[in-house]
Chain A
Amino acid sequence: MELLMRYGVPRPAARWMAGAAYYAGVAAICVPFVFVFYWMVLGAMKTQVQNTASPPIFLFRPTFENFYKVFVANQFVQYIVNSFTVSGGATLLALLLGLPAAHVIARYRQRGIALGILVARMAPHLSYVVPFFILFQWLGWIDTYAAIILSHLVITLPIVVWVMIGAFEDVPLELEEAARIDGCSRWQVFTRISLPVSRTALATATILSFIFSWNNFLFALILTGPERRTLPVAVFNFMSGDEIDWGGLSAAATLITLPILVLILFVQRHIVQGMTAGGLKE
Chain B
Amino acid sequence: MSTSRSQALAGGATAVAAPPGPAGPRELLERHFSRLLPLPAVLTIGGLIIFPLAFNLYMSLQTWFVSSTTPPKFVGLANFLEIFGTDVRFWNATWITVKFTGISVTVQLALGMAIALYLHREFVGRGLVRTVMLLPMVSTPAAVALIWVIMFNPTLGILNYFLSQVGIPPLLWLGHPRTVLPSLILMDTWKWTPLMVLILHSGLQSLPLSPFEAARIDGASAVQVFRYITLPLLRPSIAVALIFRTMDSLKTFDTIYVMTEGGPNNASEILNLYTFQTGFKYFHMGYASALAVVLVLFVFAVNLALIRVRERSWSY
Segment of A2-10, A48-56, A66-74 in the binding face: A48-56
What are 17 contact pairs spanning A and B, CB under 8 A? Answer: A33-B194, A54-B161, A113-B41, A113-B45, A119-B300, A130-B279, A157-B48, A185-B15, A187-B4, A217-B254, A218-B276, A235-B142, A235-B143, A253-B146, A257-B140, A264-B134, A268-B131
Query: Are A236 and B142 touching (Cβ within 8 A)?
Result: yes
Closest to A30 in B: B132
Residues of A within 8 A of B123 (CB): 22-23, 26
Interface size on A, residues (CB 8 A): 98
Partner of A276, one of B13, B131, B199, B250: B199
Query: Are B142 and A120 touching (Cβ within 8 A)?
Result: no
Query: Are B138 and A211 touching (Cβ within 8 A)?
Result: yes
B136-158 interface (Cβ within 8 A of A):
136-144, 146-151, 155-156, 158
B106 at the interface (CB under 8 A from A): no
Residues of A within 8 A of B288 (CB): 130
B130 at the interface (CB under 8 A from A): yes
Interface size on B, residues (CB 8 A): 95
Query: Are B140 and A260 touching (Cβ within 8 A)?
Result: yes
Min C-beta distance of B213 to chain A, whole Å: 19
Query: Are B48 and A264 touching (Cβ within 8 A)?
Result: no
Once A33-B132, A185-B30 are accepted as A-B contacts, the answer to whether A100 and B143 lie under 8 Å apart by CB is no
B303 at the interface (CB under 8 A from A): yes
A81 at the interface (CB under 8 A from B): no
- Main secondary structure on A side of the interface with B: helix
Segment of B50-58, B77-85, B217-225, B226-234 in the binding face: B50-58
B22 at the interface (CB under 8 A from A): no
A248-272 interface (Cβ within 8 A of B):
249-250, 252-253, 256-257, 260-261, 264-265, 268, 271-272
A108-162 interface (Cβ within 8 A of B):
108, 110, 113, 116-117, 119-135, 153-154, 157, 161
- Main secondary structure on B side of the interface with A: helix
Closest to B149 in A: A239
B97-140 interface (Cβ within 8 A of A):
115, 118-119, 123, 125, 129-140
Closest to A271 in B: B134
Q: How many A-B residue pairs have CB under 8 A?
A: 274
Residues of B within 8 A of A214 (CB): 140
Q: Which positions in B face A, CB cutoff 8 Å?
A: 4-5, 8, 11-13, 15-16, 26, 29-30, 33-34, 37-38, 40-42, 44-46, 48-49, 51-53, 55-56, 59, 66, 115, 118-119, 123, 125, 129-144, 146-151, 155-156, 158, 161, 190, 194-195, 198-199, 202, 236, 240-241, 243-244, 247, 250-251, 253-254, 257-258, 271-272, 275-276, 279-280, 285, 288-289, 292-293, 295-296, 299-300, 303
Task: Supply 6 further A-B pairs (C-beta < 8 A) apart from A36-B136, A101-B41, A183-B16.
Answer: A113-B38, A126-B295, A182-B13, A235-B142, A236-B258, A253-B143
